[in-house]
């Protein structure tokens, strides 16, 4: 190497070295994202939200090392519409899937999804668990909606089974011979955890997005027809010796088993040195169920809230929401910022350095996650169509509800009455009138979910 070439090389190397930190600061590594969605887990079912008897040390650790939200909301009060809201960033006044009654109703082919947004941002994407937004004969399979890998249930009714004879691996059936002839040897939620760990092992050197959707603590509603205990779990774990009904032992054991899987994820991230560059969010798709023989009062599953799954009172839609991102999210923080599932798509898009699709109901809540001030939503809106057209609206401290079976319009001030025990609609007619106007304007009519009249069957589509 000539003296001139050597000098040029050294000068260039010095310049690169000097600019390295600034360059790294300008282009930080995009975080891996793991979104964990429990199924029918109530606001009061985990320790960091007040649960005293069900052991959830790893979920509680997420809260201790991250941020716990006290006023976060699901997309709906049942499974399919809540997941549809999550995928599309549209609340149930605008989303395609607004109920469970058509179990294979797909999201539209032209709708961007959380999966397509993350995949287009260069992420390796995976869904392990329940999809619930289109069956095998539709064009709404996870692999068609942005997920590189899928292992789980397509139909949310199929997902009632913790010991199914098959599930789906991408676009083909994955046979579980150990469960044939009622042998019940392979507990599928365990498989979802194993696939998650394997995916992290395989893709730790590239940004990844994992949507982990275990069917815990959902009940087997079909099994309920033949036996009183329809919460399926391999064993009753630390609760076997408790003087509780068997169904409640199973309920608690299923949650603690899921919690142990989350602990394994945390251990692997630390082992692979991915911990500080991984954002984890944990939540539930709706409020606690009263199915399969489980009594939500036994463990105080709804906490201080009124209502359960299938209600638009707070107990049906307010959910635990925990975010952990070491070095970015302050440990042990608690926030009362009001947000909902339709905010997740734009939030994850911002974290990934991607642009969210236009026309969403959601907004990125990254400022709130990072402990910064953030402008609140003008309002949050839900509608539900089982047993009649029902609506709920949250604006600041006010909550307006039109709930079956009476369909009486009720107004609550949640700041003073978190349990929604005092209807103050007659006392504040101007607030009721203002919010009822938003009821009318916050939605578009749907062929499948009309505000009145007959809904077509899926086969008539």
User: Could you write out the DSSP letters of every residue in 219-239?
Assistant: --TTGGGT-S-----S--GGG
Looking at residue 11, its pLDDT comes to 41
**CATH no., domain 30-377:** 3.40.720.10
Mean pLDDT of 372-381: 97
Please determine, for residue 28, whether its predicted confidence score (pLDDT) is greater than 70. no
Tell which wins on pLDDT, 458 or 152: 152
In this structure, is the dihedral angle defined by the CA atoms of residues 404, 406, 410 and 414, taken in order, positive or negative? negative
CB atoms within 10 A of CB 267: 13
Please determine, for residue 146, whether its predicted confidence score (pLDDT) is greater than 50. yes
Structure tokens at 157: 């009714």
Using alpha carbons, select from 145, 142, 210, 217 the residue that is nearest to residue 172.
142
Looking at residue 228, its pLDDT comes to 85
Q: What is the DSSP letter of 326?
A: T
Using alpha carbons, select from 306, 461, 299 the residue that is nearest to residue 399.
306
Please determine, for residue 55, whether its predicted confidence score (pLDDT) is greater than 70. yes
Looking at residue 221, its pLDDT comes to 85
Of 90-104, 165-179, 343-357, the one with minimum mean pLDDT is 90-104
Angle (deg, nearest 10), helices 57-64 and 246-271: 50
Looking at residue 101, its pLDDT comes to 84
Q: Where in the chain is CATH 3.30.1120.10?
A: 381-460
Select the CATH number that applies to the domain covering 381-460 from these four: 3.30.1120.10, 1.10.760.10, 1.10.10.10, 3.30.565.40: 3.30.1120.10
At 339, give phi and psi (nearest 5°): -150, 175
Please determine, for residue 264, whether its predicted confidence score (pLDDT) is greater than 90. yes
Q: Can you tell me the distance from the alpha carbon of 17 to that of 419, in angstroms, rounded to the nearest whole number?
A: 59
| β-bridge mates for residue 37, sequence order | 283
Looking at residue 461, its pLDDT comes to 35
Structure tokens at 156: 């949310």
Look up the pTM and report it.
0.92
Who contacts 202 (Cβ-Cβ below 8 Å, separation ≥6)?
none
Q: Where in the chain is CATH 3.40.720.10?
A: 30-377
Report residue 17's pLDDT band, with 50, 70 and 90 as the boundaries: very low
Burial 15-44 (b: 16+ CB within 10 A, else e): eeeeeeeeeeeeeeebbbbbbbbbbbbbbb
Please determine, for residue 455, whether its predicted confidence score (pLDDT) is greater than 90. no
Arithmetic mean of pLDDT over the chain: 92
Helix (H) or strand (E) holding 315: helix 314-317
Looking at residue 457, its pLDDT comes to 44
Please determine, for residue 333, whether its predicted confidence score (pLDDT) is greater than 60. yes
Q: Can you tell me the distance from the alpha carbon of 203 to that of 102, in angstroms, rounded to the nearest whole number?
A: 36
Please determine, for residue 438, whether its predicted confidence score (pLDDT) is greater than 50. yes
Task: Tell me whether strands 72-73 and 172-175 are parallel, antiparallel or unpaired.
Answer: unpaired
């Amino acid at each position: 190497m000539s003296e001139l070439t050597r000098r040029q090389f050294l000068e260039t190397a010095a310049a690169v070295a000097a600019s390295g930190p600034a360059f790294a600061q300008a282009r930080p590594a995009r975080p891996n994202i793991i979104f964990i969605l429990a199924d029918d887990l109530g606001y009061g079912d985990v320790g960091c939200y007040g649960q005293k008897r069900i052991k959830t040390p790893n979920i509680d650790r997420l809260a201790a090392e991250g941020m716990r939200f006290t006023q976060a909301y699901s997309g709906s009060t049942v499974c399919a519409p809540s997941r549809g809201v999550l995928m599309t960033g549209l609340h149930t006044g605008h989303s395609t899937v607004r109920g469970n009654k058509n179990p294979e109703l797909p999201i539209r082919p032209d709708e961007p999804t959380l999966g397509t947004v993350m995949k287009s941002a260069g992420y390796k994407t995976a869904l392990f668990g329940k999809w619930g937004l289109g069956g095998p004969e539709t064009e709404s399979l996870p692999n068609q909606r942005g997920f590189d890998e899928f292992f789980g249930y397509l139909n949310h009714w199929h997902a009632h089974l913790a010991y199914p004879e098959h599930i789906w691996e991408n676009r083909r059936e994955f046979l579980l011979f150990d469960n044939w002839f009622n042998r019940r040897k392979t507990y599928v939620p365990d498989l979802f955890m194993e696939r998650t760990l394997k995916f992290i092992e395989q893709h730790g050197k590239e940004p990844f997005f994992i949507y982990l959707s275990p069917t815990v603590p959902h009940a087997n509603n079909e099994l309920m027809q033949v036996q009183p205990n329809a919460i399926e779990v391999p064993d009753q774990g630390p609760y076997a010796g408790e003087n509780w009904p068997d169904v409640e032992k199973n309920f608690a054991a299923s949650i603690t088993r899921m919690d142990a899987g989350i602990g394994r994820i945390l251990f692997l991230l630390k082992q692979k040195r991915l911990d500080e560059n991984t954002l984890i969010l944990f939540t539930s798709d709706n409020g606690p169920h009263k199915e399969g023989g489980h009594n939500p009062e036994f463990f105080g599953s709804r906490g201080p809230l009124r209502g359960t799954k299938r209600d638009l009172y707070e107990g049906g839609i307010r959910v635990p929401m925990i975010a952990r991102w070491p070095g970015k999210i302050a440990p042990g923080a608690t926030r009362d910022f009001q947000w909902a599932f339709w905010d997740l798509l734009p939030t994850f898009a911002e974290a990934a350095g991607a642009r969210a699709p236009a026309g969403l109901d959601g907004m990125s809540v990254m400022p709130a996650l990072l402990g910064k001030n953030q402008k609140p939503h003008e309002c949050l809106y839900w509608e539900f169509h089982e047993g009649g057209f029902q609506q709920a609206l949250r604006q600041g401290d006010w909550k307006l509800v039109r709930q079956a079976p009476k369909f009486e319009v009720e107004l609550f001030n949640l700041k003073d009455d978190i349990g929604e025990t005092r209807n103050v609609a007659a006392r504040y007619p101007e607030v009721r009138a203002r919010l009822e106007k938003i009821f009318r304007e916050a939605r578009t009519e749907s062929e499948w979910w009309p505000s009145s009249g007959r809904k077509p069957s899926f086969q008539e589509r």
